[in-house]
Amino acid sequence: MTAAGGVAGRLRHTLVDAPGSAGARMRARRWQLVERAFPDLATMSVLDLGGTVEWWRRAPVRPKDVTVLNLFEPGESDEPSVHPVRGDACAATQALATAGAATSYDVVFSNSLLEHVGGHAQRVALAREIRSLAPCHWVQTPYRYFPLEPHWLFPGLQFLPMPARARLAAAWPLAHSRPDSLEDSMAEVQWTELVGVAELRSYFPDSAVHHERIGGLTKSIIAIAGSRSFPAGRD
């Protein structure tokens, strides 16, 4: 990493990852919201689509059991209550059955996955899987119209033409990771398609939609089903 990259990496860590950072405070607030939505989470069986084992190890509440399905790196676990499975979340039922995992759960979680699955048809497939695998769900995704694009921390990146997005993503120092080439950068921005409230409602028409806000602006939107605290149709 270059010196500039090192400074930028430290800045991103300070803003997003460090204890006490804005990102850490948002994550703590989100967990409070999870516990409000599902106060019995500790007794529930959970399927996490697109998550990691490590995320649940750090969770302030541990469910009865957790299955983590991730296309690339779900993580490893020797705990009997935590089950990593490698597979496609948009075909989760088949992937779980092939792995010998359960295909029915109390609640499905999906954090920051919906915008990465590859377009509208894949989002429809993911939503179908989520609704069929559990009576309850929590589906969070960054809000398209928040001024700061969350993956690259660049203002308005999501509204630029694709070639400009790729060039900026390749060079912008606050990105989570720097791509090796412009081609890799193009692939990353093509695989990142933020959605708005109307799209989320169309994928989860029977869910409440909660707005996570910073400074009065919506940063993320969450479809929540099966929660008495968030009745269907609420916004």
Which of 6-10, 96-100, 130-134, 140-144 bottoms out in mean pLDDT, i.e. has the lowest?
6-10
Separation CA 75–CA 200 (nearest Å): 28
Question: Per-residue pLDDT tens for 5-53?
Answer: 565 555 555 555 566 666 667 778 899 999 999 999 999 999 999 999 9
pLDDT at position 206 is 96
- Is the Cβ–Cβ distance between 104 and 134 less than 8 Å? yes
How many domains does the chain fold into? 1
Containing structural domain, residue 36: 29-151+192-225
For the chain, the average pLDDT equals 91
How much is the pLDDT for 26?
79
Split at pLDDT 50, 70, 90, the class of 3 is very low
Range name among 87-96, 101-110, 164-173 with the lowest pLDDT average: 164-173
Burial of 184 (0-12, 13-18, 19+ CB in 10 A): middle
86 domain residue, yes or no: yes
- Percent of the chain's residues with pLDDT above 70: 89
CA gap 46, 52 in Å, rounded? 13
- For residue 22, the model assigns a pLDDT of 64
Q: What is the pLDDT of residues 185-229, one digit of tens each?
A: 999 999 999 999 999 999 999 999 999 999 999 999 999 999 999
Residue 69 within a domain: yes
Q: Is this structure's pTM higher than 0.85? A: yes
Q: What is the 3-state secondary structure (H, E, C) of the chain?
A: CCHHHHHHHHHHHHHHHCCCCHHHHHHHHHHHHHHHHCCCHHHCEEEEECCCHHHHHCCCCCCCEEEEEECCCCCCCCCCCEEEEECCHHHHHHHHHHCCCCCCCCEEEEECCHHHCCCHHHHHHHHHHHHHHCCEEEEEEEECCCCEECCCCEECHHHCCHHHHHHHHHHCCCCCCCCCCHHHHHHHHHCCCCECHHHHHHHCCCCEEEEEEECCEEEEEEEEECECCECCCCC
On whether residue 13 sits in a domain, the answer given is no
Which pLDDT score, from 0 to 100, does residue 178 have?
80
Give residue 79's pLDDT: 94
Q: Does residue 231 lie in a domain region?
A: no
- The answer as to whether 184 is a domain residue is no
**Residue 96 belongs to some domain of the structure:** yes
Residue 88 belongs to domain with CATH number: 3.40.50.150
